[in-house]
Structures are given as C-alpha cells and as structure tokens.
Structure 1
Amino acid sequence: MHLRKGTAALWLSFNYWWGRRSLQSRLIAAYIIIILGPCLMVSIYSYRALNNTYVRDAVERNDYLLQMERLHILNQIEVMERAAQMAYSDKEVQAYLTNENEPQLEELVNFNTNTNVNISRIQFNNPNIEHLRLYSASENLHEIWPIIFREERVAAEAWYQAALKLEGQESWSFHESDPELMERFSGQIPKQTPKVSLLREISIPAGHHVGMVQVDMLLERFTPKTYTDVRDSQSQMFLMDPQQRLFTRLDHSFLEGNGGMADAISQRLNTYKNTGEWNMHYSENGESYLFIQTPLERIGGFLLNVVSMEGVMKDISHTRNRIIAAFVLFIILVSVIAYVMNAFILKNLRRLTEAMKKVRRGEAYTGITIRGGGEVGELAHHFSKLMNTINTLVAQAVNKQALSKEAELRTLHNQIDAHFLYNTLENIKMLAEIENQRAISDALTSLGGMMRYNFKWSGEYVKLGDEIRHIENYVEVMNIRFEHPIMLELAVEKAYLELEVLKMSLQPIVENSVKHAWTGLEEDVQERMIRIQVSEAAGEIFIAIRDNGIGMTPERLAALHGAVYAKEETEAGFQEADGGRKSGGIGLRNVHQRMQLFYGEEYGLEIGSEAGAWTTVFMTLPKVLLTGDQRR
C-alpha cells in the first residue's frame, strides 16, 4: 500500500514537473525517446550479434589450432608405430630375444656391431623418439644398453602388465616422469618429464610370449603446443589420457587459479562419451572460458584447448563502446537538428506567447501578424479576434462606469431633493402640532418614515422588522382615506424580526390587498383586517399575508396565477368587473421574480383565495439572519 502511494506521488510529481517544461523541451524529449527506442533495440541486437561473432571467431580460430595439433600428434603416433614395427619385425632381433642358450662372444660382437647399430639408427632417424627399448623374457639374455633389457626390470609395472593383457595389440600409456632403467635401483629420482609410451607384446610363435617392444616420446615433442615455451595467457592446451589425467604445462596454467576446472573438464568428457553432447562454455572466479576438444581415438585420449574469453570480452567491450559512442553522437546530432527545426517552427508560437504576456502585464495590444497557416496562424487569428472583443468590452465597461458615475451624481442630487422634502414635511408637522392637529402630525410622521425607507436603498436585503415598520407606516397613511380603518394584525415572534427579506417584498402584497380586497363592499358592513403570520419548517421561512376581503372566484384566481407565474411578461391579467382597471398581478409578479432571482427557483409566492371570504399570499424564503449589515 505504501509502495503504491509512493509510486502515485512520484508519478504526480513527475507529471507536475513535465507539465512545466516548455513545448520545445517536450518535443526534443519526445524525439529522443522515439529515436532511443529503436537505437536500443538495434544496439542490443548488434551487441548480441557481435558477441556471437566474436565467440564464433574465437572458437573457429582455436579449433583450427587444435586440429593442427591433432594432425601433429597423429604424425607422431605414426612415427612411434613405424619405429616399433621396424624393431619388432627384424629377424635377428627376434632370434636374439628368443635365444635360451648362452650366446658366444662372436655372436654378441656381430649382433652388437650390425643389428644393434641398425636398431639405434631407427631412433637416430626419428629424433623425437626418446627411447626405443626391447624387453626379453629369456633369463640368459645379455642386456645391451640402452636398447635391450631383461623383462624382469619392468615386469612388475602396472603399464607393463596392462600391455601384456592386450596380447599383441598396441598399448598406450602416459607417465608423469621418465625413469632411467640403467640406474633404476640406485635411488636416483626420475626426471619429471612427462612422456607417452607405445608398448606391444612380442609373441613368437603366436601365443608364445617372448618379450615387449617399447617406444617412448616426451610429451613436449608429442604435443608441442601443450608444453610450448611461448606463454599465451589467452589459451592453453591439455592432453587427457584414457584414465582422464590431464597433462599440460605447469607454469602459468589455468588450473592454478581455478580449482574446479579439472573436475569440470572430466565431467564434461564423461557426458560427451555417454551422450555425445559437449558444453564448451565455462565460468569460474568471474572469468569465462571456452572448452574446445577433439578426440584422439588411436590412443584413447582427448586433446583440449581451453580459451580465456578475457581478450575476446575486451574486444567486444571496445567494439560495444564504439557502437554506443556512435549512437550517442547520432542522438546528439538528431537532437541538435530537431532543436534548430523546432526553434524555427515554434518561432511564431513564441511571438504569440510574448504578445500574450504583454497583454497580461497590462500593456496595450497593438496586434500581431503571423504569416502562413497552420494551427499557430489560426491561434493568432483567434487571439486577435479575442483581443478586439475584449477591447470592445473594456470600452463598454468604461462607458458603463461613466454612466454609473453620472447616475451616482443624479442620486446625490435626488438625495439633496429628498432632504429638502424631509425638511418641508418636518416644518408642516410642526405647524400641525402647533395647531393641535395630532392626526395630521401622525400621518406626516408615517409618510416621512415611508419616504426615508424608500429613498434609503443601501442594499437588496433588509430585516423583516424594518419591512413590517414600513408596512405599518403605509397602513397608517392609507387609513386617512377610509372611514373604517384597516387593522394590521402581526403574528410574528420577536426572533423572526431579524430574518432577511428582500426590500419592498411585503409592501406590494399589502398594497395589493388595500387596493382590491374590499372593492365593491359597503364600507360599514365588516371590519377590515390584514394579518401577517411568520412560521418556520425544515429550515425555510413561510410568511402568510391574509386579508378578509371579497376574495376571488376560481376563474379570476387562475387568471392571476397566469399573470404572476408567466415566463414572459405579457398584458395578461384580469379586469375588474366595474371598469376594466388592471388588477395587482404586475406587482405580485415582480415580487415573485425577484425572490426567484435572489433565492432560487424553488422559492417565491403562492396565492390562495375563496370568493366572498379571504385571499392569502404565501411567501417562501430561506432562513437567513441579518446582524447589522452582515448576513449569516
């Protein structure tokens, strides 16, 4: 959950930062992203192809060296087999080895002078052969060093016994050292010179053991690249015998720092023998190697070339860096070109932006000319149209402000006239009191209050108590006309006197009752009563203004509803029965529309009436208290 919130916050932060970048910056970033995607894919594909190519080249190159060394080994095998065959097939050698009698001195001299020299010439003609030895089972044999020996010298050796078991077939054995047979029992330490030996049993006649022929060759001559003195840190050849012993150079060997390499080679050779599958890739200590092998069927061993990938990886890394550098330069070049082109394309947009900034700072707009079409040209055209419209509206506003100032001056002038009228009324009131005309004095007081209430228009809203005082003054003034006065009954709790109402919203309703409620009645037949009642329900205020006049028929009430609630102002209404004078529908309509304008369409007036009995106007408005001049 926290991770999701953190990710969302990070994304919002990035969107905010990205949204504040300029259009040109975002376009350049978009170009780079569009180019970077294919470049990355091409880079990955190129790197893989390059890696495969370098590995394939390394395999082919080292496999070629391995095959050349294999050919050399096969040649050496031929040399050793030919030498063994020449020594084995010599009749005089066979006769000497099978002789069970004590040879005469003359025979020994002749054999040593002729036959032994010929055998020595075999080794001389093949300098890579280290030893050519013949072993005899005869107890009376005279040894002729370093070629002819009694079998008893080596009969106990494991390699010798293994050769005997092959019964005349070739036996190949590998040795870590080359012991000297002439000093075998003198305690001399054998030279640590690895060698390979070819052994073949001598049977004359077939099935009758006579002895053994042995041809030795040092491994440094048998496989010179395995024991080369040229130190190559990138590759190393190994020779593995049938017992899976590894023979190679000891100094600067890969085996020194990689303890698991020998076991890995042995395991992979076993897998190759069983399944024919060979895995050439190997890694240890953070280094990668290739195992390239070829079998040596004639001796039952394998020739292996271990190649270090360090140099190859350096070449790959160098080439990869050049490719990356080329891509980076390409992206930079494309970005520069895109920046220049965007700067040229967005030049008009920047001009338009500067013009907008000047207008925002309040400077006068003098117009902007952008040639060419496109979105920027269309935007500039509409901006010019907009500014012309704004200038027109500003001119109209200035004109209205001037008219408002003029109206204020007129209002001030009217206020001066009103003060003159107030002072005049006060003077008349003082004369009435001097003449002891209390009724006239009270009427003038009420009329002055009405005039002050009407002229003092500081806002649309007043307290309900102020509006009721105005109605009281109005009723007192109107009662001067009637023989039977109108009684005003107030059913208003004191708390409701602080309610907010629209100014001059109740007075037109009361005036409508005064003018029309008792028309046509005998003035002495009933008491005239107007009752104002305030109630509250569900957070709304209901004001009922009821008279006990003649009421209205359903037809006349429907006509009045049509006049009050009509969407458009018309001449609709209803005529009085005695002469065609319009009813109070216009005043009620104005109050209803003002309430809907200031409070909302759900508020307004509702009218009810019963012919010959009463008429009630219901006013619905929200409950808002006024404290001083503040609404709450």
Structure 2
Amino acid sequence: MKLNQLFHQLKLNVKFTILIIVMLVIPIGVFAGILFYLMEQNVVDENCNYMQYTMERSQDDIATKIDSINMPTQFFLSDDDLKEALLAAASGQELSTEEWLSLKKNDISSLERLVNNNPLLYSVRVYAINDDVQEMMPILYNHTRMERLAWADDTESGWKFNYVDAVFDSYTMNQNQKLISLVTPIVDYDYGVIGTIEAAMTMQDMFPGLYENIENEWSCFVTDEGELYFGDNEQDDSVELLQEILKQNQKTEETQVVYSKIKGRKLVISSMPVKELSGTLISVKDITENVHRVYFIRNVFVVVMLFVIALLVLWVNHIVKRLLRQLYDILASIREVQKGNLDVVIENCGPDEMGELGTQINKMLRRIKRLMEDNLKREMLMKNSEIRALQNQINAHFIYNVLESIKMMAEIDEEYAISDAVTSLGKLLRYSMKWVSGNVLVEQELEYIKNYMALINLRFDYEIYLSLNIPDSILKQEIPKMSLQPIVENAIYHGIEQMAEDTNIYIKGFVEENDCVIEITDAGKGMTEEEVEQLKKKITGEMESDGGSGNGIGLKNVQDRIQIAFGEKYGIEVASKLGCYTKIRVRIPWHPVYEETVKVGGAV
C-alpha cells in the first residue's frame, strides 16, 4: 500500500520512465533467465551424455573381462588328470615321477598355453589343500603358497578384490600391482574340497576407469557389503563425497546417470551395477567449474545490464520530458491562473492531444473572463435594482400617505366601508411592494390573502368566505413570497367567478412525514379528468402554455419557485371533481421558524 502511494506521488515523467524501464527489463530478465538456465542445463546434459556413453562402454568391457576369467576357470575344473593329482595329494597317495612328468607334459603345459594366449589374464593358479604336490609353475602350487595371499583366510569362493601377489617374495613379484580374482574350489564327490583355483586379473585391466588420471573425474567400485575400492585417481575428499552420494542415491539394478549438488559441488554421477562382481561401479565428474563459468557469464551480463539500464533510465527520462514539455507549460499556465492571472495564453498548441488540451484551456480561460464580465454586469444590475427598489419604497411612502389621507376623509364623512377598503388596499400594497430577498412566513402570506379577499368581495354581489385551519407551528413555516396568493386568485377566477354565488375557500395546513402540506380547496365548478391531466402537464412543463386565461402559467410559476427554493421533490399537486371542488396541495419541507416575526399590516 505504501509503495502504491509513493508511486502516485511521483512526477509524471518519473512514472512513465519507470513503466517503460519495467516493460523493457521484465522481458529481458525473463529471456536472460531462460537463456542462462538453458546454458547450465546444456552443460549438465552434455556431461551426463558423456558419462552415459563412458559407462555403457565400460559395461561391455567388464562383461568381456569377466568372461575371460570364467572361461579358463571352467576349463581347469574340467581337467580330470589335474583333479586326480590333487585328489591323490589330498588323500596321502604318492604319485611316481613318471606320473608327475606326464601331468606336466600333457595337462600343465596345455593349461599354461591357455593362460598365455589370453593377454587379459594375470594368472590362473591351482592350489592344493596341502603341500604334498609337486609345484609346477605357473599353474600348480602347494597350500603354503596360497596362505601368503590376503584372501587365504576367507575360505568362501567368489571374487576377491584389490590384493597383491604375495605368492613369492617381494623382490620377485610386483607388490604394487593390485589384483582381482575369481576363487573357485575344486570339489571331489567323495572326498570334498581337494584344491582351489585362482583366476586373476589386474584391477587396472578390470576397471581402467579407476586408474585414468582425468581432471575433475574419478571412479570407485563399491561392493554390496559396502567396501570401497579406488584406483590411482582417488582424491582427498573422494570417500566423504562417495558416502554422501550413496546416502542420497538408492541402489538400482540398471545403469543411471544423475546430476547432484553435494557440499557446494556440482557433480554428474553415473552408477553401473555389476551383478557378476556383486557390486557397483560409480564414476563421478565434477562440473563445478563448468557451471560456475556459466554463473560468471550470467553475473557479467547482470552488471552490464544494470549499467545499460542506468543509461537507459537517463535517456528515457530525457525523451519523456521532451514529450511532456507542453504539458509542463500547460501546468505552469494553470498555476498562473490559480494566482489570479486570467490573461495567460498557452502558445504553440499543436495538433496532438496536448495541443488540444492547451486549445481547450485557452477557450476555457476566454469563457471564464467573459462570464466574470457578465457576472460583474449582473451585479451592477442588481445594485441598480436595489436602488430602484429603494426609490419604489420612497414612492410607496408617498402612496401610503395619500391613502391615509383618503381614509381620514372617509371616516370624517362616516364612510366606514370605504375606510376599511382603503386600509386593506394599503396593507396589500405594503406587502407586495416591500423588498424581500428571501422567503416569508406562512402567516405573512395568509395576512396578504385576507386583505386580498377583502378587496375581492367589494367587486362581487356575492360573498366568498375564507376558512383557515392552520396550526401555529405551520404559521411559522417559511414559504416563497407570493406562492399561495396566485393559487387563491386562480381558484376565484377559474372556479368560483363563473358560478356567481356565495361560496368559500378552505385553507388547511398539516405535517405529513417530514413535509409541510398546505391545501387550498375551493367549492367551485371543478374540472374534468382530461382538464386536470392537461393542467398537470402544463405545471410540470410537459406541455407548453399558449397564453390566455386558464393556461396554468400562474401555477407553473409557483411550482418553479418552490422547486428552485427547496428541490425537485417539492411543488404543487392538483385534484378536482367536476361540479364539486378543486384542491391544490403545496408541499414544502418541514422547517418551522419559531423566532419573533413582524407581521405585515397595521393602520394606514
């Protein structure tokens, strides 16, 4: 909410600049974000594909090498002469020299050729269960030789990993070369185990990836029991990383390549289960530098973009100010107008929207000046009217003095009817000629009607009686001057005069909800429904009055004056019945005035 308020308080050129920059920066930011994400993803995918290819190649290679070990093992197990020699040694039988020579010449030599013909094999050795055999190197060995090997205490058959060849002394054997071998017992049906076959291969030949010195890449073979075997490419934190890798990645039966973020390092990890070896070959490629290179490019792009945006803000703000220059000129002109200078003229109004605004403001200023001149003239006319009203009052005093003299002459001659008539006329003239700028009280208006009725009855041979039923609170109600008398006059001339007989006019006042209602009812000739509807339309202005008697001009004037004073919801209502009556309702807001007022009238 505060940000929204702050934005609304900014200048227009700043708002436009912010909006333009935002509209440019958001698409560029989204595009750049997608671009750098794709660049990072491309680095990851490229290395994942590389690791996938490497692992597939290793899978076929390891399968071939396992077969290279299994095949001679099976061949050795199928050699019956070798098994008979081992059985004889196990059972304590002694073979003659000729039998050993025959075994050496026929079987051992063929087995040796088999091993030598397979360059992948390090050796295939047969160990007797005791030392009662004639050793025939490099194939047949006694039990003491086997006991020198690291796996000798583990009598279970299977694969043995990462041990050295200790059959002979260290000066005759390469003790730094690590071996992997398949150890298989030779079993006689009757006697049991009579010997052990060791088909060996170097770890480097079986897992060349463990010994390749490739930057940011290393491998490890993990047995199902959790033993770890590294080659020459083991790094300082390889064990720690591998433990975290094994913790995050579950074992699968298929080769998989995943991308992981471990301890701030970005790693591509491939794992290939090797069921025959009861373990998994894991290769790890550290692509942290490659990914950080993308991050570096991204950061450089952000810095450059910030610099470009800063320059763009200055340039856009300059352009927007130039575009809004005419608007600022208009604002400066309006400030001058607020100071009271109406002679301001906006120059160089062009054909665009700003120019149109300047043109309209010039027209408005000319109209204001003209209205002010007209208003000044109107005020002068009002002053002149007040002066003329004052003069009329002076003339009225002369008329009142003359009427007073006539009244005194009538009373001297004992013409009291004439005296009363002159008194009523004087009151009538005093009320109508008195200058009143606002409303009058109902009681003042009724006093005027009484004097008017007294003079009217002098004209006719019949009597028109005036009946009043007005509460005191309504007598203090304000009403526009001369708003009830025209209704009474209209009732006499259009409802009663044509009947030429004694009758009456009844004026009643009451409060209805929050309105004050004054009813003026005459016992005259009344009107038809059609005449009533036409009169209503003339009063509301729906039908034009054509002049002449009975055209409703007087009632429309009363309606207009009441609505000007109190609002559109107030005014007069008409109801009539032919041959019975006509009733006019005057509805005004209920606002009684309780202060002391001076009644119009008095002696003349």
> Is 2:586 the partner of 1:620?
yes
Q: 2 CA distance for matches of 1:605 and 1:266?
A: 95
Which AA in structure 1 matches 2:220? F
Kindly state the Cα deviation for residue 454 of structure 1 after the two structures are TM-superposed: 1.8
Q: Where in structure 2 are the equivalents of 1:310-349 lying within 5 Å?
A: 310-349=288-327
Task: Quickly say closer, same or farther: Cα 1:424–1:345, change in 2 above 3 A.
Answer: same
Q: 1 CA distance for matches of 2:362 and 2:260?
A: 74
Kindly state the Cα deviation for residue 247 of structure 1 after the two structures are TM-superposed: 0.7
Kindly state the Cα deviation for residue 392 of structure 1 after the two structures are TM-superposed: 1.8
Q: 2 CA distance for matches of 1:278 and 1:242?
A: 17
Q: Where in structure 2 are the equivalents of 1:435-446 lying within 5 Å?
A: 442-446=420-424
Q: 1 CA distance for matches of 2:427 and 2:577?
A: 32
Q: Secondary structure at the match of 1:267?
A: coil
* Aligned position for 1:151: 143
Q: Where in structure 2 are the equivalents of 1:50-449 lying within 5 Å?
A: 50-59=39-48, 135=127, 139-141=131-133, 149-151=141-143, 153-154=145-146, 157=152, 162=157, 173-175=159-161, 177-178=163-164, 180=166, 195-197=179-181, 219=203, 226=210, 234-240=216-222, 245-248=227-230, 252-256=236-240, 259=243, 261-262=245-246, 267-268=251-252, 270=253, 272=254, 278-282=256-260, 288-293=266-271, 303-370=281-348, 372-422=350-400, 442-449=420-427
Q: 2 CA distance for matches of 1:266 and 1:16?
A: 54
Q: 1 CA distance for matches of 2:95 and 2:223?
A: 41
> Is 2:29 the partner of 1:40?
yes
Q: 2 CA distance for matches of 1:563 and 1:148?
A: 137
Task: Quickly say closer, same or farther: Cα 1:147–1:320, change in 2 above 3 A.
Answer: same
Residue 532 of structure 1 is aligned with which of 499, 503, 507? 507
Q: Secondary structure at the match of 1:351?
A: helix
* Aligned position for 1:455: 433
Which AA in structure 1 matches 2:24? I
Kindly state the Cα deviation for residue 238 of structure 1 after the two structures are TM-superposed: 0.6
Per-residue Cα deviation, 1:186-234 (whole angstroms, up to 9, x for no partner)? xxxxx9996424779999xxxxx99777576775797676368x897x4
Contact 2:421 2:454 in 1 (8 A): yes
Task: Quickly say closer, same or farther: Cα 1:429–1:298, change in 2 above 3 A.
Answer: same
Task: Quickly say closer, same or farther: Cα 1:438–1:374, change in 2 above 3 A.
Answer: same
Which AA in structure 1 matches 2:590? V
Contact 2:271 2:281 in 1 (8 A): yes
* Aligned position for 1:188: none
Task: Quickly say closer, same or farther: Cα 1:56–1:597, change in 2 above 3 A.
Answer: closer
Q: 2 CA distance for matches of 1:558 and 1:261?
A: 102
Contact 1:202 1:210 in 2 (8 A): yes
Q: 2 CA distance for matches of 1:422 and 1:436?
A: 21
Which AA in structure 1 matches 2:364? L
Q: Secondary structure at the match of 2:251?
A: helix
Per-residue Cα deviation, 1:96-136 (whole angstroms, up to 9, x for no partner)? 999966879xx9xxx9xxx9xxx9xx99xx9x999997745
Which AA in structure 2 matches 1:39? I
Task: Quickly say closer, same or farther: Cα 1:470–1:195, change in 2 above 3 A.
Answer: same
* Aligned position for 2:78: none
Q: 2 CA distance for matches of 1:103 and 1:563?
A: 152
Contact 1:290 1:306 in 2 (8 A): yes
Task: Quickly say closer, same or farther: Cα 1:355–1:182, change in 2 above 3 A.
Answer: same
> Is 2:478 the partner of 1:492?
no
Task: Quickly say closer, same or farther: Cα 1:259–1:428, change in 2 above 3 A.
Answer: farther
Contact 1:238 1:246 in 2 (8 A): yes
Kindly state the Cα deviation for residue 563 of structure 1 after the two structures are TM-superposed: 11
Contact 2:127 2:140 in 1 (8 A): yes
Q: 2 CA distance for matches of 1:266 and 1:563?
A: 95
* Aligned position for 2:572: 604
Contact 2:221 2:279 in 1 (8 A): yes
Which AA in structure 1 matches 2:160? F
Contact 2:538 2:544 in 1 (8 A): no
Where do 5+ consecutive residues of structure 2 fail to align? 74-81, 188-192, 597-604
What TM-score results when the alignment is normalised by the length of structure 2? 0.69
Contact 2:44 2:259 in 1 (8 A): no
Task: Quickly say closer, same or farther: Cα 1:197–1:517, change in 2 above 3 A.
Answer: closer
Contact 2:217 2:283 in 1 (8 A): yes
Contact 2:570 2:588 in 1 (8 A): no
What TM-score results when the alignment is normalised by the length of structure 1? 0.66
Kindly state the Cα deviation for residue 301 of structure 1 after the two structures are TM-superposed: 6.8
Contact 2:518 2:585 in 1 (8 A): yes
- Give the aligned CA root-mean-square deviation in angstroms: 5.7
Task: Quickly say closer, same or farther: Cα 1:257–1:433, change in 2 above 3 A.
Answer: farther
- Percent of residue pairs bearing the same amino acid type: 21
Kindly state the Cα deviation for residue 177 of structure 1 after the two structures are TM-superposed: 4.6
Contact 1:196 1:216 in 2 (8 A): yes
Q: Secondary structure at the match of 2:347?
A: coil
* Aligned position for 2:453: 475
Per-residue Cα deviation, 1:442-467 (whole angstroms, up to 9, x for no partner)? 55543443333223343453222111
Task: Quickly say closer, same or farther: Cα 1:521–1:147, change in 2 above 3 A.
Answer: closer
Which AA in structure 1 matches 2:33? I
Q: 1 CA distance for matches of 2:575 and 2:129?
A: 149
Kindly state the Cα deviation for residue 150 of structure 1 after the two structures are TM-superposed: 0.9
Q: 1 CA distance for matches of 2:139 and 2:537?
A: 147
Q: 2 CA distance for matches of 1:516 and 1:326?
A: 95
Contact 2:523 2:581 in 1 (8 A): yes
